[in-house]
Amino acid sequence: MRRTFFLTLSLLAACSRNASLPEYPPSSDSRAFERAIRPNFSAQTIYSFQLKAKAKSAIFPSSTLSVDAVGSLYGATSATAGFRGGAGTIFKSSANRNATLLARFAGRDGAYPSAVVADTTGALYGTTHEGGDLQCLPTLGCGAVFALRPRGSSYVRKILYRFKGGSDGIDPGQLTMDAKGTLYGVTAEGGASSGCGGFGCGTVFRLSHERFGYRESILYRFHGRSDGSRPLGAVVFDSAGNLFGVTAQGGECDRAGSGCGTIFELAASGSNYVEKTLYRFGGVSDGDGAFPTSITPPTPAGTLYGTTMAGGDDRCAGGCGTVFKLLWSRDRPVESIVLRFDPAPGGAPRQPSSLLLVANALYGATVVGGEETSYFFPHGYGTIFTVDLATQSPRIVYDFRGPPDGAAPAGGLVAGLDGSLYGATSSGGTGECIDFTGCGTIYRFSAAPDLF
C-alpha cells in the first residue's frame, strides 16, 4: 500500500512539480460537466466506520467494494484502530448495514489488502501490497495472495502465495477470477531484475489451484518504455480468454522519462500468452490521458473504457485526468477521449479507481472535486459522476459533503443485487479519526429506474 501510494504521488509529480488543483471557471468544452437534477439521484451513508481501539476496529476504507451471490458487500481498509503494526483489514457488510471485521493484516500475513473476489462457495480471495515474505524488501515484504474461507460464523485465513521479488513480482494488485477459479493479477514492480529503478517494471501473474495447493506462474514481465511499466488495477477478460490491462508508466510520452502509460493485451495462444501493446498514451501536451489506472471488461463489441489520473485538461498541473475508450476499427485499436475532467466542477481521479458500466452509461467517483470544500479538503470532498455513452454527456450526480457524509471516495462503485450502486469513502462519516475528518463510510447510490 505504501509503495503504491508513493508510486501514485511520483506519477503526479512526474507531470509537474506542483500537482495541486487550482480554481478555474467551468470549461466551455461541450463535454464539460453538467449537474444533474437532484430528485433523480440520491446517496445515503449506510455505515460509518468508528475509532474503537479496544475492539481493534477497521478504519479508512481503501478499495472498491465487491458483492457476493447473496448481496453481501466486502471491502478493504488501510488501518486498524488500536492494533500495533496493524496494516489493514477485510470487512463484510450485510443487509443489517453493520460492518463485520473478517481479518486483520500485519507482517507475514500480508499488509495493506486490496479488494477481494468471491467464489461460488463464499470463499474470498485477495492480495496484500506488502507483507508476506519479509526477506523480500526487508521489513516490508513484497506482498501475498490470501484466501478467507467461511467456517461457521467466522472466516479462516490461508496464505496461498508470498511474492519473492527479483524475477517474481512485487506489490500485487486486485485479483480477477475466471470461470474455473483460477486467479489472475498484476504486480506494480518486480519481474526483470534491472530497469525501473532496479525493482523491475512489473508482471502479470496467474495462480492456479492444483492438487496440493496453488502454483504461481508469471505470464509476462514488463521491460519499461515501449511495452509499459508499473501495471495497476485488475486485468479483465474477453469472451475468448484474452487478458487486458493498463500500465501507469511506459509508452512513448516522455514525461520525466517515465512515459504516460499503455493499454496492453495478453492474447491467449494455447497454454501461453502473447503480449501486445494496444495503445500508448500521449499525455496532456497531446490532449490525451496519462497514467491510466483501470479498465472495464470489454463490451460485446470489444470496446474498453477506463480512467487516467492525469492528462486531458491542462488547467490542472499535468492534466486533470480523463475517461477514455478503446474500440476496434478495421481490426485496429483506436483510442479516444470520452471526458476530460474539468478542475472547477468535478475533481480529477487522483488514485487508482474503476468505472462501472450499467446499461449504456458509465458510473465512477472522483477523490476530489465537488461544490463544498473545507480546510482539510480544499479541493472538495469528491463526487459521483456518470457519462451517457449514447450522447457522450457527463454529469455530476452527487457531491460528497464531508462529515457526517462521506469524503474522498475509495475506488469506484459496484452494482448491488437490489439495483442500487454501492461504494466506500476513505474519510467522512461520524467516526472521530484524524482531526475529526471521519474514519470512512459505506454508501448506497440510487437513481430513478428509467435512468438505469
Q: How does pLDDT run across 165-206, given as a tens digit for each residue?
A: 989 999 999 999 999 999 999 999 999 767 787 789 999 999
Residue 93 has a pLDDT of: 93
Q: Alpha-carbon distance 308 to 314, whole Å?
A: 14
Query: How many of the other CB atoms lie within 10 Å of CB of 331?
Result: 5
Residue 451 has a pLDDT of: 43
What's phi and psi for 344, nearest 5 deg?
-80, -55
Q: Alpha-carbon distance 450 to 303, whole Å?
A: 24
Place of cell 472547477: 344
Q: Do 283 and 253 form a contact (C-beta atoms < 8 A)?
A: yes
Helix (H, G, I), strand (E, B) or coil at 225: helix
Q: Single out the residue of 67, 4, 111, 49 nearest to residue 441, CA to CA.
A: 49
Residue 133 has a pLDDT of: 86
Give pLDDT tens digits for 416-438: 998 899 999 999 999 888 777 89
Highest mean pLDDT: which range of 272-281, 316-325, 376-385: 272-281
What's phi and psi for 147, nearest 5 deg?
-125, 145
Asked if residue 21 has pLDDT above 70, the reply is no
Helix (H, G, I), strand (E, B) or coil at 407: strand
User: CA–CA distance from 49 to each of 24, 168, 403, 427 (Å)?
Assistant: 34, 36, 12, 9
Q: Do 357 and 299 form a contact (C-beta atoms < 8 A)?
A: yes
Give pLDDT tens digits for 82-94: 766 678 999 999 8
Query: Is residue 160 exposed (0-12), middle (13-18) or buried (19+ Cβ within 10 Å)?
Result: middle
User: CA–CA distance from 306 to each of 29, 50, 290 (Å)?
Assistant: 20, 33, 11
In this structure, what C-alpha cell is assigned to residue 35? 449537474
Query: Is residue 95 exposed (0-12), middle (13-18) or buried (19+ Cβ within 10 Å)?
Result: exposed
User: CA–CA distance from 227 to each of 8, 110, 371, 428 (Å)?
Assistant: 20, 30, 40, 39
Residue 84 has a pLDDT of: 67
- Percentage of the chain surpassing pLDDT 70? 85
Residue 19 has a pLDDT of: 34
Give pLDDT tens digits for 118-164: 998 999 999 999 988 888 877 789 999 999 999 988 899 999 999 99
Q: Single out the residue of 443, 365, 447 nearest to residue 404, CA to CA.
A: 443
Give pLDDT tens digits for 387-418: 999 888 888 889 999 999 999 999 899 999 98
Task: Give Cα 54 to chain centroid, integer Å.
Answer: 31
Task: Give Cα 266 to chain centroid, integer Å.
Answer: 20
Q: Alpha-carbon distance 304 to 95, whole Å?
A: 33
Asked if residue 441 has pLDDT above 80, the reply is yes
Residue 80 has a pLDDT of: 85
Query: How many of the other CB atoms lie within 10 Å of CB of 405?
Result: 22
Complete DSSP assignment for 149-172 = EEETTEEEEEEEEE---TTSEEEE
Q: Alpha-carbon distance 316 to 349, whole Å?
A: 12
Q: Single out the residue of 227, 184, 228, 220 nearest to residue 203, CA to CA.
A: 220
Query: Is residue 302 exposed (0-12), middle (13-18) or buried (19+ Cβ within 10 Å)?
Result: middle
Residue 106 has a pLDDT of: 84
| Residue bearing the bigger pLDDT, 254 or 130 | 130
Q: Do 323 and 307 form a contact (C-beta atoms < 8 A)?
A: yes
Residue 448 has a pLDDT of: 55
Query: How many of the other CB atoms lie within 10 Å of CB of 82?
Result: 13
Asked if residue 334 has pLDDT above 70, the reply is yes
Q: Provide the β-strand partners of residue 329.
A: 332
- Percentage of the chain surpassing pLDDT 90? 49
| pTM of the full structure | 0.88
| Residue bearing the bigger pLDDT, 412 or 369 | 412
Q: Alpha-carbon distance 240 to 238, whole Å?
A: 5
Confidence of residue 266 (pLDDT cuts 50, 70, 90): very high
Q: How far from each other are the two terminal CA atoms of the chain, in whole angstroms?
A: 34
Give pLDDT tens digits for 28-58: 343 455 655 445 678 899 999 998 877 788 8
Place of cell 486533470: 320
What's phi and psi for 227, nearest 5 deg?
-95, 0
